[in-house]
Amino acid sequence: MKKILISLNCFLLIMLHAHPQDGTLDLSFGNNGISLIQGYYNAHLKNNQAIQTDGKILAGVITYPGDVIIFRFNSNGSLDNEFSNDGKFEIGLELNVPIIGMSDIFDIEIQADGKIIVLFSLGTNKSILRLTSNGMLDNGFGNNGIVITDFAFSFNYTTLIIQESGKIIILENIYDDDVSNGYGVIQRLNSDGTSDITFGINSKVILETTIFLFLGVKKGNDNSLIYCEVLINQSNTERRLLVKQLYENGARSILFDVNWPISAGIGVGGFVIKNNKLYLGGSYSNNVLNTNDAALFCYNSNGELDTEFDDDGIKILISDFNGYSKFVNQIQIQDDGYFLLSGHYIPDFDIYDNNRFFIKLKPDGSHDPNFNGNGIFELNSIQDPNTAITYSGINSGEIFIQADGKILLYGIHYTLDDGAVGFHLLRLHNSVISCHESSLSATISDAFAITPGGNLNTVYIGYHPASSITLTATPSGGNAPYSYNWSTVPAQSTQQITVSPAIPGTYNYNVTVTDATGCTAQFSKTIKAVNIISGQNLDKVYICHRDLKGKWTTLSVLQGSVANHLAHGDYLGPCNTNSSNSEILTRVANETGGQEIIPKGFKIYPNPATHFLYVQWSIKNTSHSYIRILNAEGKTVKTFTTQGAVNQQRISLNGLAKGVYMLVLKTGSDQQVSKFVIQ
């Protein structure tokens, strides 16, 4: 484990190449990767930061106790002096409101038009204000830019959601005075700050009436909300974790119902849903060491732990750190499926010291070695270059993924000897590969069960050497290593599989290829199974035999003689079912009364072909000459008229799918046939 002591005035530049390693500080941000603001604090490290579409950063803090302040930083980490004249909006000072008890800030959200919504308290009821994009109160909202709610001040979970319609959702966790009963409330405001009386009862919906806490809320489709709650019985011996969807009309549905183990600490990192799986951040009790280890939990839609995720559905993140009370308090999942987790822990069992960690995991739950060498960035102190004070207490806050993939982290720092506090922003190098932009693709190569004598993508029931076929998935692009999931029963996970259909028919085999970033590609291959068993004792098989005159006849032969027949140009299966070779030849022969069709000075190239094919012949051309192309079913798919007396012609293959075809050249009474492949 590598610990990093960061001195902002003497940070060593060790990455001089054009592409710094992921998981290292971005030295172009702030002062050697970090922006420090001293003298401010925040008890809630979640939801009180936001990034604008132009890359500027909003951060909410408080004086302790005192004013609530909104800072805005430029994308390079410097204060934006165009925001409220000096880079900050100070709520208590601007509003001339006396501070009553504790102040706090709970959430910052940005509207589609760039206006800023802030949920805060100055020790009285929780309130909402709206700022213009330049940091001034918006008088078109509430009373001179402010709405005072009827939610009393508390440190309980509170958050905001701005719906696509512009309406504002407030979600509040409320407890009785003796904390013996709790419930959740959702209130909706119109975009001007007035109560939306069309929502619930007088703009409110009561969620639960039991000991209860929120782990988060997210936007759903069609203005719905998805929220995560924990229900605890009176004796704290049972916990249920529910993820629910709340619709516009007040109806609710349960998406996940999980029995949350008592041994699992309830994190404040919220939840993430991806690919119909629920991911939860928190801690896991280690009864042997009497510690709580930071952990990531993965649940399937049935509420059971996903045992394919790190073997048991629980990823222990930093059990090797000395100390206790390690927990995850933020989770993000990148578009490429990688996990970003932020948290902090108390090292060496010193309850007055916190260290911050940030972890990047692969989609399978393993640490990403390309991120700082081991998937972990750790920060155990920050030194102020102006005062030389070293802050050894570091608490982690929110994670943001910028448009360029870099990671922005918010946190607070403090020192116990003089009570100095502050907050910081730091930025790490990071790579994100969007699956929408991924070059990952996959194919299943055409294959023969036997060659010569077999048809492409065909198996032959009754002749053991050709009764199975091997399929190979070939990925390209994306990021190795790759994993495979075939549609066979049971499912297979190797790059190459062998299949042996036992019943005649057509079978589709699908494979899903997943690369290291979690992006996927799918491909399908159709295999035909033909029953060629014959003979009264079922000891013979059918073959399609060509005699010296070029005529094709179905024969029933002993299995021991099949190899010799195939070596001389015969094919497995009866002539009328041998789709890509003999059937076509048989149909052509039938059309011409059984004439010889052995090529005479006849040539086609290139073979395999892609976009075009050259045809050469030696038979004298006539005005009644033409070229036909037949597919594997013997159907004519293209016809060309030969060009005068010239004995060579270039023909286009546009519009034809990959596969095996027959080309038939008819010149007067003569006919010539050759097989070719389009790839």
The per-residue pLDDT for 575 is 83
Judged against a pLDDT cut of 60, whether residue 173 lies above it is answered with: yes
The per-residue pLDDT for 221 is 73
- Give 159's DSSP letter: E
The per-residue pLDDT for 578 is 44
In sequence order, what are the beta bridge partners of 244? 227, 254
How large a percentage of the chain has pLDDT more than 90?
23
Calculate the CA 122 to chain-centre distance.
41
Find the length of the chain.
679
- Backbone phi, then psi, for 586, in 5-degree steps? -65, -45
Judged against a pLDDT cut of 70, whether residue 582 lies above it is answered with: no
> Do residues 69 and 121 make contact, with C-beta atoms less than 8 angstroms apart?
no
pLDDT confidence tier of residue 584, bands split at 50, 70 and 90: very low
* Cβ-Cβ contacts under 8 Å for 588 (sequence gap 6 or more): 597, 630, 662, 664, 671, 673
Helix, strand, or coil (residue 34): strand
Number of Cβ within a 10 Å radius of residue 223:
16
pLDDT confidence tier of residue 348, bands split at 50, 70 and 90: low
Mean pLDDT of 164-176: 80
* H/E element, 172: strand 168-175
What distance, in Å, lies between the first and last C-alpha atoms of the chain?
52
Antiparallel, parallel or unpaired: β 204-206 and 168-175: unpaired
**Range with lowest mean pLDDT among 13-17, 61-65, 279-283, 565-569:** 13-17
Convert the pLDDT of each residue in 473-484 to its tens digit. 999 887 777 889
Core vs surface per residue 254-267: b (16+ CB within 10 A) or e: ebbebebeeebbbb
pLDDT confidence tier of residue 1, bands split at 50, 70 and 90: very low
Q: What angle do CA 132, 135, 141 make, to 5 degrees?
A: 40
Tell me what the pLDDT averaged over the chain comes to.
78
Q: Which residue has the higher pLDDT, 558 or 634?
A: 558
The per-residue pLDDT for 66 is 63
Does the N-terminal peptide bond of residue 452 adopt cis geometry, omega within 30 degrees of 0?
Answer: yes
> Do residues 91 and 43 make contact, with C-beta atoms less than 8 angstroms apart?
no
The per-residue pLDDT for 206 is 80
The per-residue pLDDT for 636 is 83
Mean pLDDT of 7-17: 36
- Backbone phi, then psi, for 310, in 5-degree steps? 55, 35
Helix, strand, or coil (residue 221): helix
Does the N-terminal peptide bond of residue 369 adopt cis geometry, omega within 30 degrees of 0?
Answer: no
| Cα–Cα distance measured from residue 166 to residue 214, given in angstroms and rounded to the nearest whole number | 24
Query: What does the block give as tokens for 473?
Result: 């998935």
Mean pLDDT of 169-188: 72
The per-residue pLDDT for 2 is 33
Across 100-104, 175-179, 405-409, 601-605, the highest mean pLDDT is recorded for 405-409
C-alpha radius of gyration, the chain, whole number: 35
The per-residue pLDDT for 393 is 66
The helix, strand and coil proportions of the chain, stated in percent and rounded to the nearest 5, come to 5, 45, 50
Judged against a pLDDT cut of 80, whether residue 458 lies above it is answered with: yes
Mean pLDDT of 450-478: 91
Max Cα-Cα span within the chain: 109
Domains and CATH numbers, the chain: 441-531 (2.60.40.10), 599-678 (2.60.40.1220)
Mean pLDDT of 353-377: 86
pLDDT confidence tier of residue 266, bands split at 50, 70 and 90: low
The per-residue pLDDT for 510 is 94
The per-residue pLDDT for 228 is 81
**Range with lowest mean pLDDT among 161-170, 336-345, 427-436, 573-582:** 573-582
**Range with lowest mean pLDDT among 2-16, 21-35, 109-123, 245-259:** 2-16
pLDDT confidence tier of residue 604, bands split at 50, 70 and 90: confident
> Do residues 90 and 67 make contact, with C-beta atoms less than 8 angstroms apart?
yes
| Cα–Cα distance measured from residue 75 to residue 95, given in angstroms and rounded to the nearest whole number | 28
Distances (CA, A) of 657 to 578, 585, 610: 20, 21, 10
Q: Which residue has the higher pLDDT, 279 or 353?
A: 279
* Cβ-Cβ contacts under 8 Å for 315 (sequence gap 6 or more): 295, 296, 297, 298, 309, 361, 365
- Backbone phi, then psi, for 587, in 5-degree steps? -65, -40
Core vs surface per residue 182-211: b (16+ CB within 10 A) or e: bbbbbbbbbbebebbeebbeebbbebbeeb
pLDDT confidence tier of residue 44, bands split at 50, 70 and 90: low
* H/E element, 563: helix 562-567
Judged against a pLDDT cut of 60, whether residue 597 lies above it is answered with: no
pLDDT confidence tier of residue 309, bands split at 50, 70 and 90: confident
> Do residues 486 and 510 make contact, with C-beta atoms less than 8 angstroms apart?
yes
Judged against a pLDDT cut of 60, whether residue 323 lies above it is answered with: no
Distances (CA, A) of 507 to 139, 455, 470, 529, 634: 67, 15, 14, 8, 20
Mean pLDDT of 655-678: 80
- Which sign does the torsion angle of CA 223, 228, 233, 235 carry? negative
Helix locations, 74-139, DSSP H: 91-95
Secondary structure in 3-state letters for 566-593: HHCCCEECCCCCCCCCHHHHHHHHHHCC
The per-residue pLDDT for 467 is 94
| Cα–Cα distance measured from residue 258 to residue 395, given in angstroms and rounded to the nearest whole number | 29
Number of Cβ within a 10 Å radius of residue 92:
20
Q: Which residue has the higher pLDDT, 213 or 259?
A: 259
